[in-house]
Amino acid sequence: MSIRQILTVGAPSLRERSAEVTNSQIRSPKMRRLVKDMTETLAHAKGIGLAAPQIGEQVRVVLFDVPEDNGYADDGQVLSRTICINPEITVLEGPVDGFWEGCLSVPGKRGFVERPQHIRLDFLDLAAKSRSMEFHGFLSTVCQHEIDHLDGVLYIDRVKEPELLVSDAEFDEEVE
C-alpha cells in the first residue's frame, strides 16, 4: 500500500478512455492493491473522489469519499468510502445546475460546470455485485465528474466561458 502520485493535466493518461474491468480482475490481488493505493492517496490528498487513471491506471474504477458533513449533500444521501467498478450514469428527470468544481489533477483551479442534477449510478462493488444508487444535487455532480475521468474528460472541458475558470485565490475572494 502506498500513496501514489496524482497525475495532473497534460499527462496523456488523463486523456485516454479506461478499460472495463472483468469479474476475474475484480477478485485479483492487483485490484485489492489498487483500491488500497487509491484509498490512501485520496485520504492523503484530502479529496472527495479519485479515478484510477488519475494515478496512471487505465481501468474503470472510481473511489468516492465525500464527508457526510460536506454542507452540500442533502436528503441524507451518503457517498463515503465507496468503490465503483465499471460505473454507468443514467440521467433522470430533473434540473441542470452548476457547482464550482475542483480536481486533484487540475491543481489551483476552480471552474463552474453545469450538469444534470438527478442521476442513477450503476456499478459493481468489490464483490462484483451489481449496485444501484440515486443522487441529487452536489453528489450527482461529484459522480459525473469522477466518471468523466474514465473517458478522458476533465471538468475544464465542460466550463462554458473563460471567466468561469478561476484560480483558487480568485475563487476564495469571490466567496468572501
Which residues are catalytic, by number? 146
**Phi/psi-derived region of residue 94, left when phi > 0, alpha when psi is between -120 and 50, beta in every other case:** left
Which amino acid, one-letter code, is at 62?
A: V
Q: How many CA atoms lie within 13 A of 89 on its CB side?
A: 23
Q: Which stretch binds Zn ion (CB under 5 A): 21-29, 103-111, 120-128, 135-143?
A: 103-111
Q: Is 84 helix (H, G, I), strand (E, B) or coil?
A: strand
Cβ 54 to Zn ion shortest distance, Å: 7
Residue number, nearest CB to Zn ion: 103
Residue 103, interface with Zn ion (CB under 5 A)? yes
Cβ 12 to Zn ion shortest distance, Å: 16
**Phi/psi-derived region of residue 24, left when phi > 0, alpha when psi is between -120 and 50, beta in every other case:** alpha
Q: How many residues bind Zn ion (CB under 5 A)?
A: 1
Q: Which is nearer to Zn ion, 45 or 128 (CB)?
A: 45
**CA angle (84, 75, 44) in 5-degree steps:** 45
Residue 6, interface with Zn ion (CB under 5 A)? no
Residue 79, interface with Zn ion (CB under 5 A)? no
Cβ 122 to Zn ion shortest distance, Å: 20
Q: Which is nearer to Zn ion, 45 or 133 (CB)?
A: 45
Residue 63, interface with Zn ion (CB under 5 A)? no
Cβ 22 to Zn ion shortest distance, Å: 25
Q: Which stretch binds Zn ion (CB under 5 A): 34-42, 77-85, 100-108, 124-132?
A: 100-108
Strand ranges inside the chain, DSSP E:
49-51, 61-64, 82-91, 96-101, 109-116, 118-124, 130-136, 165-167
- Distance in angstroms between the alpha carbons of the first and the last residue of the chain: 39
* Chain contacts with Zn ion (rule: CB under 5 A): 103
